[in-house]
Amino acid sequence: MTIDPRLQSGLLPVEQARAQLLESVTPLRQTETLPLEQACGRVLAEPADAQVDLPPCDNSAMDGYALCGEGRQFTLVGKSLAGHPHSGNLQPGQCVRITTGAALPGGADRVVMQENADLDGETVLLQKEARIGEHIRRRGEDVGSGEQIVPAGRRLKVADIALLAAAGVSRVTVLRRLRAALLSVGDELKPLETPAAELGTGDIYDSNRIALKAALGELDIEVVDLGCQPDDPGQIRAAFEKARDSADIVITSGGVSVGEADYTRDVLEELGQLEMWRLAIKPGKPFTFGRLPRTEGVSYFFGLPGNPVSALVTLYQLVLPALEKLRGAGDDVVRFRGRARLLNPIRKSPGRLDFQRGYTYRDGDGLQVVETAGIQGSHILSGFSRANCFIVLPRESGNCDTGDWVTIEPFQKPLT
């Protein structure tokens, strides 16, 4: 097989980088027990078992009449309401008025919905015979008491909470929340409170840290915000030591280089081990991963590119899978990809896996289509803001034409 020489550039494939990250991190083990209503989004550390049968008794799936035996004519002898069951047993030819969810009285073996029955005094006449077992929910047909209903490692969603609550589970043991420390380094970075008129030439707002903080907050990760540090070795070291000792992960964007006035790399190499990668990804070629040993265990370092779009793309494609594994939900995360027809041409050179920002929707004919969202520069945030998906262009691919089918990856948290 002939390999395009443009792909032999010494760049690390994204898939390999992601695999290396996942292999390098170890999930958290510390747990806490919470009331169920506080547990949505948390990762279950111990399996949860049903405390009761679901349903807890045979009950009606419809408003109508609970019948005993066959036939089309029955004598009405009472009623069974949710929370107020009929006390006696039915004999053949008898029935009771019953509401949805109400307990089935003894002797009842079928339910007819009220639209198929006519009441004449104490007599119920069926428009057609009901089948045995019709419209009956059997005790325990969903889950049985003592049955494991949610496994360990599941990130609890609303449907899980509903199931657990119905099954009588009031408290669950979950992994503790992941803690992430964020900091920026650079004399040119200024806080958002700085008036625009006071910005010097080359000064920029410290926007990446704010965006990363919002992203991690969307993922229910506890954030330790250490602000922006000047280009001073002592202050940088103190900030990273505090980050290392207070969080499971440390994230920065930009600043890990060999620049004359850039001390971040030297400090990090003194504190731990660094791996600096050049990735076959666009945007986001430079990426740093490291381990910062501490008294108990290790804190993981992720150095994202400085360009704002690059920082968010690498966070989403590389860091998030590692974070999911760290908090115990690595196998529970599925990222959807689909196909869409391109509405505009795209220029691309072979060499890097390209995550262009796009907007996808179904056209009037129901066809999934996608178009690029504005200029695709790694510093252009306005297009990213309008986008709702990535257009994923393989590393070896070149230009795309209008009408081509391309792969799309709709945004999920934290980019939604």
384: domain CATH number is 2.40.340.10
The H or E element containing residue 311 is helix 308-314
Q: Is 15 left (phi over 0), alpha (psi -120 to 50) or beta?
A: alpha
Residue 17's CATH number? 3.40.980.10
Q: Which of 175, 199, 221 is the last residue of a domain?
A: 175
The answer to whether residue 383 sits within a structural domain is: yes
Q: pLDDT tens across 261-308, in order? A: 568 888 999 999 999 999 999 999 899 999 999 988 899 999 999 899
Structural domain containing residue 352: 338-410
Q: Quickly tell me which residue has 């920082």 as its tokens.
A: 311
Q: pLDDT tens across 7-44, in order? A: 546 899 999 999 999 999 999 999 999 999 999 989 99
Report the chain's mean pLDDT, rounded to a whole number.
92
Q: Cα–Cα distance between 271 and 291 in angstroms, integer?
A: 9
Regarding whether 295 and 230 lie in a shared domain, the answer is: yes
Regarding whether 328 and 185 lie in a shared domain, the answer is: yes
Residue 227, φ and ψ in degrees, nearest 5? 70, -155
Q: Please, which pLDDT band fits residue 260 given cuts at 50, 70 and 90?
A: very low
Q: How many CB atoms lie within 10 A of CB 30?
A: 9
Q: Please, which pLDDT band fits residue 133 given cuts at 50, 70 and 90?
A: very high
Q: Please, which pLDDT band fits residue 259 given cuts at 50, 70 and 90?
A: low
Q: Quickly tell me which residue has 């609890």 as its tokens.
A: 156
Q: Cα–Cα distance between 214 and 23 in angstroms, integer?
A: 27
Regarding whether 207 and 85 lie in a shared domain, the answer is: no
- How high is the pLDDT of residue 245? 96
What is the average per-residue pLDDT within 74-102? 97
Number of domains in the chain: 4
| Cα radius of gyration rounded to whole Å, the chain | 30
Whether the per-residue pLDDT at 164 is higher than 90: the answer is yes
- How high is the pLDDT of residue 296? 84
Q: pLDDT tens across 92-114, in order? A: 999 999 999 999 999 999 999 99
Alpha-carbon separation of residue 257 from 112, 211, 286 (angstroms): 75, 22, 9
Q: Please, which pLDDT band fits residue 257 given cuts at 50, 70 and 90?
A: low
Q: Cα–Cα distance between 293 and 60 in angstroms, integer?
A: 60
Regarding whether 200 and 305 lie in a shared domain, the answer is: yes
Regarding whether 327 and 181 lie in a shared domain, the answer is: yes
The H or E element containing residue 208 is helix 207-218
End-to-end CA distance of the chain: 40
Regarding whether 164 and 36 lie in a shared domain, the answer is: yes
What is the average per-residue pLDDT within 128-139? 97
Regarding whether 327 and 186 lie in a shared domain, the answer is: yes
Is residue 355 within 8 A of residue 282, CB to CB? The reply is yes
Is residue 246 within 8 A of residue 179, CB to CB? The reply is yes
Regarding whether 201 and 167 lie in a shared domain, the answer is: no
Is residue 346 within 8 A of residue 356, CB to CB? The reply is yes
